[in-house]
Structure formats: structure tokens, C-alpha cells
Homo-oligomer: A and B are copies of this chain.
Amino acid sequence: MKRTATSSKLSVKRKSEIFKALGHPTRLQIVEKLAEGEQCVCVVLEMFDIDMSTLSRHLSVLKNAGIVTDERRGKNIFYSLTCPCILDMFQCLEKVLGDR
């Protein structure tokens, strides 16, 4: 099967949404943290010097993009990567940075 570089209009939209969601330092670091496994919001909060409500908003951006899911257990809410394969993208990116 021939490999084409172009994508359907719908797919372009979804892909760019994912990129956009990752296009913020805080959100990028959240995802990197989740690479270690499921994390409680309270733990993630400690990583940054931002308001809890701001963090919550970032988490919802990631969630809307389909990058993470959340699950409530008791009083806490835990976030995790929907598909750890997203980390492969990060490695590719490392390489892009390295090659320049």
C-alpha cells in the first residue's frame, strides 16, 4: 500500500488538536509525568507554581484532546495517559531537536 503524507480533513483537525494540546509547557510536563503512570491531581499540582484551577483547566484540555483520562477514587481524581504510545512522539521529537 502506498503511503501518503496527506490526511483527511477530519483527521487533520484531530491531529492538530492533539498537537495544540501538547503545545504548552505545563501540559507537556503533565504528560511527561503521567508517563510514569497514573497520578493524582494533587501530586501533579506540586510540580508547578500555579493555581489549582489553572491546573484543572490544563488537565481538561488534555482530556478533551483525548490524551488523558481521569478516574475518581474517593476524594481524589487520578489522571493517566489514554494511550502510552503518545510517548513515542516525544522520542521522535527528541530526535528532531538532536538533529539540529
- List chain A positions with a Cβ less than 8 A from chain B: 5-7, 11-25, 27-29, 32-33, 35-36, 66, 82-83, 85-90, 92-93, 95-97, 99-100
Contacts and interface: CB of A to CB of B under 8 A. Distances in A.
B25 A93 contact: no
* A contacts with B: majority SS: helix
A66 B93 CA distance: 12
A11 to B, nearest CB: 7
A99 B83 CA distance: 7
A86 to B, nearest CB: 5
Contact of A22 (B7, B19, B66): B19
B89 A93 contact: yes
Contacts of A22: 16, 19, 23
